[in-house]
Each structure stands twice: as C-alpha cells, then as structure tokens.
Structure 1
Amino acid sequence: MARMRALCLALLALVIAASGCGQRSPDLVKGKALFVERCGSCHKLARAGTQGTTGPSLDAAFAQARRDGMDSDTIAGIVRYQIAHPRRGSVMPANLVRGEDAEDVAAYVAHVAAVRGEDTGALAQAGLAGATDGRQIFVAAGCGGCHQLSRAGTNGRIGPSLDDLAASARRYGRARGETPEQYVRESIVRPDAFVVPGFRRGIMPSGYDKRLTRQQIDALVRFLLGR
C-alpha cells in the first residue's frame, strides 16, 4: 500500500511538473528564504541549515528516491502536493505557502534534499546567513511558524505567543533567578530547560546556538524583549 501510494504521488508529480512547461523558472533563492522562514522550524534540511524535528527530515524523506534515480522535477511535484495536502492529523497547515511561493519552496527542496554539499553564491546568503537585525533573524529562523508575534507579523500557534514576552520573561526569569535577557537567551539555546505551562517539551528544535552567531542571538534577544 505504501509503495502504491508513493507511485501514485510520483505520477501526480510528473503531471504537475509537465503542466508547468513554458511557465516562469522557480526562484531558488526566494524558495530557500521562504523554506527557512515558514518550514524550517519543523523540518530538517541540511543545505538550508534547519534542524526542525516536529515534521520529517526532508533529507531522509527523499534519500531513497534519489538513490532510485528520481529527478528533481518529480521531487518538486511531490513537495508541492504535500504543501497543499499535508498528511491528515499532522500539525502542518495546508497551503502554508501558495502560488509562486509554493513553487519556489518546492523547487528549492527538490534542488537540495538528500544532496550533499553546501549552498553557494546567492543561495548561501539566503535565509539566516544574511540576517542581521532582530526582526530579520526571527523571521528567517522560522520562529514565526510556531510563535505569534504581532511586531513580526507572525501568527504561529504551536508554541506560546511572544506578544507579552517581556512580562513573561520577568516573571519566569525571577522564579529561576535569571534576568529577562538570561531567560530569553536560555529559551533560545536550550529550549527544553524551561517549558511554558500548557506546552510540550521537544517541540522547539535545539541547535540555535550553532545556527546563529553570538551577535545574531544578542539581536534576537533585544528584539524579543522590545528593545
């Protein structure tokens, strides 16, 4: 049954890919930036530098398909279909990105999933690598996919709202003997050290201390505290 489903998806992807003949070429740089921003908090994709664990690793998901000779157009079609029709019961919302944005994300994933190496040129600077101010970093790191923060224009519901983080950081930090800055920094680099009541451990990916520079973390902390 699983093999038949995979074959059906592959055939569907071929139809989708074929129907795009003569249309615009996907923008891989934009696709990477959108993937990191909207998808990376839940999915691992090595070339994008994302470490999400809520959803499947996209490198692992397409590793066997690559070995079997599946081409990038077919993979892009499968990804595009899954964006529009996520697995029933998953936390992934349908159509997280739409239209050309979805095509760009699917094309980038198809370009790099289960492919060794590192992005080069303009692709290397897309997403987190080129982010310098706090809002940029928050968006590029994909935080908005899980957290609501009005100042960043995000409305994620998987994690707690960050609209009142300054007050929460004072309250929870005081209880732990930490300043608000220390509390927020620890929440970024060690997300399971303290979990807000009502939310589960293990949802927020770890590793931001490796994905972000010290300067980026400093800027993100200041932004989150409204400074």
Structure 2
Amino acid sequence: MSLDEAERGPFIQAHTAVATAPLVPEVRLHLATEITPLWQASEDLLRKTGVPPPFWAFAWPGSQALARYVLDHPDTVRGRTVLDFAAGCGVAGLAAARAGAASVTCVDIDPMALEAVTMNAALNGLGGTVATACADLTSDESGGGEGAWGVILAGDVCYEKPMAERVTRFLTRQARADALVLLADPGRAYLTREGMETVARFAVPTTLELEDRTLRETTVLRLLRPSNREQEGA
C-alpha cells in the first residue's frame, strides 16, 4: 500500500523547496531543506501505508557526479536512449535530457520517486523527453531489458551488499549488450571495481545530516564489455 497518486504531489510540495544540487546548478529540483521533519513524516507514512524512506528528496553524490559528467560530456548521451537506473530525484536523467538525449527513462521501485521525477522534469521544461517506470529491473521477472537503452546511468547503488550484487549483474548484462554503462560511487562499501575503468572523479559537497563527512570523493566508472571468456562463465 502507498499514498494515492493524487496525494503524492502535494506531499512532495509540502516537504520540499525548489533548489539546485551543489554540482548541478543547471537543473532545478524539489529537494528537502529540512531533512529531519521530512524523514519523520515519511516514517509516519511508512507505519501507516508502507511508503519507503524519502530517498527521492535528495540529490545523492553518485547521481550528482553522473549529472555533472553528462553535462560536461554531452556527446556521451546526445541522440541516444538513456536509462536512469534507481533514479531517485532524477537529476542524472534530467541532466542527460538537457544534454541532448533522444529519450530518457527514469526507473525506480518507489512511486514517490517517480512523482518527484515527473515534477522535476516539468520544472526544467523536460517533460516531453523524460518518461518514468516503476520497476525492479534486477529481478528475474523483469526480463532485464538487454539492448533497450544505449546509455545506462546508475548513481550510488552499492550501499547494501545484496543490492550491489544484483545491480552489478544487471549492469554487466547491459554492458554485454553494448550499452554504455556509467556507474558513479562515492566510496560505498560494496562496490566491486572489477571490469570497470575510471572516467572521472568529483568532490561532491554533502551534509552531515545524511553522510559522515561534508565532502564525498565520487568516482564515475564505465563498465567494460565482458570478454568472451567472461560471458561463457556468467
């Protein structure tokens, strides 16, 4: 159970303000300004309706780094189909749309995140380019979608071991299908860098309300296409 669709937008409006992330001043977002009250309100809803924590209300370091990278290197996404995986507020996908992507799909398992993405796309005049989908692409039932996207952006998705393992398998399959897969990580515990190369590094300002430091060194990595031998063992 979750908030009704008609309730999501008003909840987001009531608990956020229009602002920009430190690394991405080009993109306006509905972001939490008072973190504790929003988290408390979401916990109250979690007890009543099962609404997940409000990860959508923050521009996490990994997503900011991806957004900055594609804005600085628009050829990465220009004219291509882009997936913003575990999109959250959608800042990476919105940056891709602004950089000239042919289309962007922001996918998340939280309907509140997708409502936030829709509202953020409208804020930036990108509603016609950015679509949303509520799905867990790492599940066996999803079918994986290999070959459906030319570019895949995944920011800050390795903070839990089981999730990191599922995500890595999914992203590796996409790289095998010739997608350009970019993963940005701010030093989370469960990232394996095997089969990846570093393409950029950013120092992303953070808050002690969410992180254990005020600056996160965040690395943008490209997944290399698995070799034939690796494919046979996968």
Assess same fold via TM > 0.5.
no
Bucket of the pairwise TM-score, normalised by the shorter protein: under 0.3
* Largest Rg, 1 or 2: 1
Of Structure 1 and Structure 2, the greater strand share is in: 2
Point out which structure has higher relative CO (alpha carbons under 8 A, 6+ apart).
1
TM-score of the superposed pair, with normalisation by structure 1: 0.28
TM-score of the superposed pair, with normalisation by structure 2: 0.27
